[in-house]
Structure 1
Amino acid sequence: MKVLFILSIIFFSTYGNAVVKRHDVPPEKYVLEKAPGYLIDMPHEGHGVLINAQWVLTVAHTIFYDYVGKSIEIDSKSYQIKSVHKHADYAEPSKALLKGDLAPLMTFLYARSDIALIELSSPVSNRKPIDIYTNDDEKGQRVTVFGRGATGNGITGENIESKSLRELNHFENIIESAEAHWLAFKFDEPVNALPLEGMHGSGDSGGASVIIQQGVPYLVGLSSWQLAHGDISTFQGGLYGTTAYQVRVSSYRNWIFGILSQ
């Protein structure tokens, strides 16, 4: 189990999720001085989203061990984790999937439910939760995505060493497909790209993907994984043409509200 845990960290740190940017746009244009109030940093890396004063929604693979009793730091205040609820259809990849041809791993990632809810022991003060998006018309909508992971650009891909800087970035993209439990978009080259086109990369897992309707933000997705081909040892994340997958929050609305109402 310890070996699998370490391999999982290596894989998701390298091939999971960072804000990767257009090479022809000044990187500082993607930088944000202040995070939206609903974006929560997880204990080690990755993010969660405050959807209720006492509940954080995240991807399950950001939870590296039993977090119950541990704390999340929010605005210099510690909030103890009361309970953790991973979706029943979530599973960790086996050691065999974390080497060689990436195709079996991609099939595995697509089939699982990478989502979890974290209950805090007390309500978060001075932060406004975000409502989840409950409609099923995400395809074609523009999203804004947030993260503090590694940075890079579409030509060279993500630079893992930059992840330690924990710099807050954001980017935009257009949802190209809404399939079952996943939203997908492609990191387009500049000729077809949005002004702040980008994609998530290493350290951005669980970051909020939001749409704005009549000035109100709604949570539509959580950064989860990149579609990859070839051998795992040669894969470079964040290149132009790469497809990103995010948890489709609307498809889990019954599961989310069911746990919140317990």
Structure 2
Amino acid sequence: MIRFFLLMLLAVSSTASAVVIRHDMDDSEYRVPASEFPALVDMPGEGHGVLIAPQWAITAAHTIPGNSDLQHVMINGVSRDVERVVMHAGYKTLPQALIDQAMASGEATLIVVFLASSDDIALIKLTQTVTDVAPVELYKDSNEPGQTAKIVGKGATDTGATGHSPNGPNRTELRRAFNTITSAHDRWLCYVFDGPPTALPLEGTLGNGDSGGPVLLQSDDQWLLAGLGSWKVAQGDVRTARPGRYGQTSCNVRLSHYIEWIESVISEQPQAGANNSFKPTPLRGAA
């Protein structure tokens, strides 16, 4: 669940991957235990979120199943019931017509334009307070460019030399990598997956299945949540391009842009952009 479809979600309706790594580094250098980031939220099937308050998690809006039917999420290996989800009012679902055009022509410029205009963010209120995991604090400054980010995820993986398969699997083992934020403005902060010799020692990028996954920036001795995996830009024919290759740009929800919205929702104070709230509907056949 991460529209990390290289410049779209194309055939994969919504997915961004685990972590794609350098081709000249061993995968064991990137793998980490769950204790590395216990606040990671596993969405159903694929996709992530992050616990940011004892009863609240945040994710990319496109990771929400059917944009409504979210019943449970996993945090620290424990299933947590969902009380309700608040989608940002500015979130837009990618029209099928744009996907069809891109699949017919191989050109997806308008998909990029569309994704860039959407507020791909949602908050998840849990039924019970989480007491076994410390929430992650938000990064509230606007000086992201040039900083080294840590990214974490369980999505698709491979190396930047080949990219990963767009067909999955999109849930693998937990990995973390680093990258340098190249740009940040308004809704988005972005980084480029560089290859050696200019890459960071453990350079990487999020991949399909990592949508909603954390982009962290360090402040003093603490890693703060600055972004959420959302979508990726690849060059060339989108029908044949492979996600996760060197040179691709990953665009992530920039949380410093949404601080007021996030705080208003969590404090239960209505604000523009926070009016799309729903309670999960029991699945058919459920008790």
TM-score (norm: length of structure 2): 0.83
Query: How far did 1:166 drift?
Result: 2.1
Distance 1:77 1:27 in 2: 27
Question: Contact between 2:40 and 2:76, CA under 8 Å: does it hold in 1?
Answer: no
The residue that corresponds to 2:83 in the other structure is: 82
Q: Secondary structure at the match of 1:123?
A: coil
Distance 1:173 1:110 in 2: 21
Work out whether 1:54 is the aligned partner of 2:38: no
**Cα deviation 1:227-250 (Å, max 9, x = unaligned):** 134443222111111111011011
The residue that corresponds to 2:109 in the other structure is: 103
Distance 2:134 2:174 in 1: 19
The residue that corresponds to 2:18 in the other structure is: 18
Cα distance, 1:48–1:138 mapped onto 2, change above 3 Å: same
Matched AA of 2:21: K
Q: Comparing 71-80 with 51-60, which one deviates more in the overlay?
A: 71-80
**Cα deviation 1:7-35 (Å, max 9, x = unaligned):** 8772423xx44311100011111101224
The residue that corresponds to 1:189 in the other structure is: 195
Question: Contact between 1:50 and 1:129, CA under 8 Å: does it hold in 2?
Answer: yes
Cα distance, 1:232–1:208 mapped onto 2, change above 3 Å: same
Question: Contact between 1:17 and 1:225, CA under 8 Å: does it hold in 2?
Answer: no
Question: Contact between 1:41 and 1:47, CA under 8 Å: does it hold in 2?
Answer: yes
Distance 1:203 1:156 in 2: 18
Cα distance, 1:238–1:248 mapped onto 2, change above 3 Å: same
Matched AA of 1:233: R
The residue that corresponds to 1:227 in the other structure is: 233
Question: Contact between 1:20 and 1:150, CA under 8 Å: does it hold in 2?
Answer: yes
Distance 1:19 1:69 in 2: 25
Distance 2:208 2:43 in 1: 14
Q: Comparing 21-30 with 222-231, which one deviates more in the overlay?
A: 222-231
Query: How far did 1:112 drift?
Result: 0.5
After TM superposition, the structure 1 = structure 2 runs for residues 1-262 of structure 1, keeping only pairs within 5 Å, are 10-13=12-15, 16-34=16-34, 35-65=36-66, 67=68, 70-99=71-100, 100=102, 101-160=107-166, 163=169, 166-262=172-268
Structure holding more helix per residue: 1
Distance 1:18 1:73 in 2: 16
TM-score (norm: length of structure 1): 0.91
Query: How far did 1:162 drift?
Result: 5.7
Question: Contact between 1:106 and 1:228, CA under 8 Å: does it hold in 2?
Answer: no
The aligned length equals 254
Distance 1:92 1:176 in 2: 27
Question: Contact between 1:150 and 1:161, CA under 8 Å: does it hold in 2?
Answer: no
Q: Which runs of 5+ in 2 are unaligned?
A: 1-8, 269-287
**Cα deviation 1:23-61 (Å, max 9, x = unaligned):** 001111110122412111112211110000100000001
